Amino acid sequence: MPRILLLGGTTEASQLAHALAAAGMDAVFSYAGRTEAPVAQPLPTRVGGFGGVAGLQAWLRDQRITHLVDATHPFAARMSQNAIAACAGIGLPLVALERPPWVPQAGDRWQSVPDIDAAVAALPETPARVFLAIGRQNLAPFAARPQHRYLLRLVDAAPDLPLPQATVMVARGPFTAEGDRALMEEHGITHVVAKNAGGSGAAAKLVAARALGLPVVLIDRPAMAARTTVASVAEVMDWIAAHPADLGV
């Protein structure tokens, strides 16, 4: 009988949790613990880091996990690298559920950049109104451009922001293109900064930027070591079926 660790924190992870629960599978859902009220899951849920590769390996052994599914956000690179290393070290099968990156369409004014620092450097010198849609981590580097007004959309209120001119909107996706267009118009947004997360719910800001003709600074995904990757919940279920539990720890 398989026993699965599902690393979550994304819409896709929640969808997979429902599929695993509906199939009566033995699985544990894991959150990092970044948000105050994480989405409730239909699986036994644990919260918090494992303590690096060694901590994860110990936890996997202790919990008699047979399969690991990494459905973290494409920018959660440390967790994903730890999962790859931990599974390689103990011979545990691993699959990543990862949505494909967004690709530009006609009308898009995207500038792709490799990382956060390059995104900061891509902003203009003259004061702009920036929709900084990158979550709460990695805001500090934008303090190097204090001439801009920043609109932040965060899951939880953030009292101590490293940016001098920031407006915070507390909201949780998925978002709509109409809603994001109205938000950008209301705040007079001139530039959008986003991570190339992929998926539909977070794409609304890009659709809205296209409609408004706004430039988008789009941060590329961090590099990742080789791993088996699928793009749908159904493919994860097939992958589990194709990897008998006795191959695990």
Q: Which residues, 145 to 174, sit near ligand NAP by CB under 6 A? A: none
Tell me the closest approach of the beta carbon of residue 213 to ligand NAP, in angstroms: 26
How many residues of this chain bind ligand NAP (CB under 6 A)? 24
Per CB under 6 A, the list member of 23, 40, 49, 88 interacting with ligand NAP is: 49
Q: Which residues, 99 to 138, sit near ligand NAP by CB under 6 A? A: 135
Measured distance CA(236)–CA(19) in Å, rounded: 10
Tell me the closest approach of the beta carbon of residue 96 to ligand NAP, in angstroms: 11
Instruction: With beta carbons less than 8 A apart as the criterion, state whether 113 and 248 touch.
Output: no
Concatenate the DSSP letters of all residues of 162-226 into one string. Answer: S-SSEEEEE--S---HHHHHHHHHHTT--EEEEE---SSGGGHHHHHHHHHT-EEEEEPPPP---
Choice between 30 and 66, CB closer to ligand NAP: 30
Cα dist from 36 to 66, 71, 172, 190, whole Å: 30, 20, 12, 31
| Binding status of residue 27 toward ligand NAP by CB under 6 A | no
Strand locations in the chain (E) = 3-7, 26-31, 45-47, 67-70, 94-97, 109-113, 129-133, 149-154, 166-170, 191-195, 215-219, 229-230
Tell me the closest approach of the beta carbon of residue 210 to ligand NAP, in angstroms: 22
For 206, what's the count of Cα atoms within 13 Å in the CB-facing half-sphere?
25
Stretch that binds ligand NAP, among 70-78, 139-147, 186-194, 205-213 (CB under 6 A): 70-78
Choice between 147 and 229, CB closer to ligand NAP: 229
Instruction: With beta carbons less than 8 A apart as the criterion, state whether 99 and 70 touch.
Output: no
| Binding status of residue 93 toward ligand NAP by CB under 6 A | no
Q: Which residues, 186 to 205, sit near ligand NAP by CB under 6 A? A: 195
| Binding status of residue 31 toward ligand NAP by CB under 6 A | yes
| Binding status of residue 175 toward ligand NAP by CB under 6 A | no
Per CB under 6 A, the list member of 15, 21, 34, 224 interacting with ligand NAP is: 34
Per CB under 6 A, the list member of 50, 102, 131, 142 interacting with ligand NAP is: 50
